[in-house]
Structure 1
């Protein structure tokens, strides 16, 4: 069991999300930075998609009713275990009753607290992820708060040697591909999209990242029916400022789609701080596949390290 002593941030249970249900209007939810979730689970010897706690920026304090190997990935956190500093992307063991305190994120937006075995919350529609908008999944369909007792999936071998890995390289250059309505925008808008900086607005969240920059304009008015959208879709509403749909995005939308972020870069995008600038770089499908292979090579390396350090 994990006991929540303090929760000053939005913290909720997420795995890799729900798939195959968007035709019913059910979003996939899941970790906003799946690369970091996978990395933490592999470091602990878990299945890649084991449920973890996703924490946005702020802090929380927890303890466990048994010796529990854990790691923190995603955002780089200032954290302490029993009053001593612990570091992101390192595997530690929290002893029974010890307090693990995540103080604040010093780099990035979303951190992941992964534990050996994962969290034993009920599967709803094939996933343990919290759908915050619909209020189901995860731990009672909500964010964690003080006094919660979250069950763990128990595993044999509660001790684990301390070992660390390199975090993914952060980047403000986000790779994207032209999308279905790209040709409906002016040539000037194409240049603006790929050459100018875009500033992440503070109103952004797990549903969508809103950006400020020069206005993107259609070549002529365009009437569209609602159509399927997904995590990474770059929509342009009438105001001309792009919105990138994120993990909790709706299943359909009616705005023209100028681009789609490469799946391999969605985690890096998620870790961009409010007020920071990004640049889009246009790539072809085969380059997007190469980026995915790069991420997989990183995960394969973590798995080898975890297997060789018992």
Structure 2
């Protein structure tokens, strides 16, 4: 078991999210930086979908009540175990009674903590992920608070610390053209512009500021299904990129879709940072995705976990 001594800002339980529930009006939810979550679980030999904790800024403290192995990935939160540094991107041992402190990110926005055996919470619609908008999943559908206690799965027989490659963040967000891209009055402006991430951004969407885009002809569309990564153009002309907790339908024009392999960059972008969209072909998007799949496959082999979990 682990106890939350200090919860930090919007610390939640997340996994890969709820798949196939959009027709029920439920968002996918799940870890915004899915690659960081997968890496943390692979380092510990957990199932790929084992629940983790997602931290977003702020000071957090957790006390462990069993010996455990942990993995911290994503943004480097300057973590310490009883005052001694715990490296980001590594598998690290922690003893019963010790306290893990996360001071906040040196760069980036979100960190992920996996524990050997996984964090145990009830599932809803096949997922442990917290949906803050609907108040479902995780721990009572809310962010963690001081005094919460979380059960842990069975301890793994791990022996040595190991580490893995850390990604280098950049502001280039690769996108595929959306069904309404050609309706833009100046399509080149979308990619040439530098868009600033607004403080109003959250797990529902990345809201951007910059020179407004416009359509060459007014476009009226009915409400349609949307999903994380969709870039919508509201009447303000300033794009919104839908994220994991976004609504499942929308009526704004869809001008682009962020490729899956670059969604982590939005998860790790801070308000005030600038982003630039880079159009790519479908073949290029597939090639990038395949490279990430190959990396995690090789990582699993190197750690003795075998092929990726289904």
> Taking structure 1 as the reference length, what is the TM-score of the superposition?
0.96
Equivalent-residue separation in structure 2 for 1:298 and 1:109 (angstroms): 23
Summarize the alignment of residues 1-310 of structure 1 with structure 2, pairs less than 5 Å apart.
1-157=1-157, 159-186=158-185, 188=186, 190-307=187-304
Q: Secondary structure at the match of 1:41?
A: helix
Deviations 1:229-261 (A, max 9, x none): 110000000010000000101000110011000
Q: Distance in 2 between matches of 1:246 and 1:131?
A: 12
How far the C-alpha of 1:223 sits from its partner, in A, is: 1.2
CA displacement, residues 154-213 of structure 1 (integer Å, 9 cap, x when unaligned) = 1342x5311111212212101001001111111x2x111111211111110100101111
Alignment CA distance shift 1:299-1:207 (3 Å): same
- Conserved in 1, the CA contact under 8 Å of 2:3 and 2:64? yes
Distance 1:214 1:294 in 2: 34
Once the two structures are superposed, what CA deviation does each residue of 1:31-57 show, in whole Å capped at 9, x if it has no partner?
001011001100110111110000001
> Contact 2:8–2:57 at 8 Å: present in 1 too?
no
Give yes or no for contact 1:69–1:160 (8 Å, CA) kept in 2: no
Could you tell me the TM-score, scaled by structure 2's length?
0.96
Q: Deviations over 1:251-310 (max 9, x none)?
A: 0011001100001110122111111111111001111111101111221232233228xx
Paired residues of 2:203 and 2:246 also in contact (CA < 8 A): yes
> Aligned partners of 2:24 and 2:35: how far apart in 1?
27
Is the Cα contact below 8 Å between 2:116 and 2:156 reproduced in 1?
A: no
| Structure 2: segments with no counterpart, 5+ residues | 306-310
The answer to whether the 8 Å contact 2:117/2:156 transfers is: no
Instruction: Provide runs of 4+ in structure 1 moved above 4 Å.
Output: none
Q: How many residues align?
A: 305
Matched-pair contact (CA < 8 Å) for 2:206–2:266 = no
CA root-mean-square deviation: 1.1
Structure 1 segments unaligned to the other structure (5+ residues): none
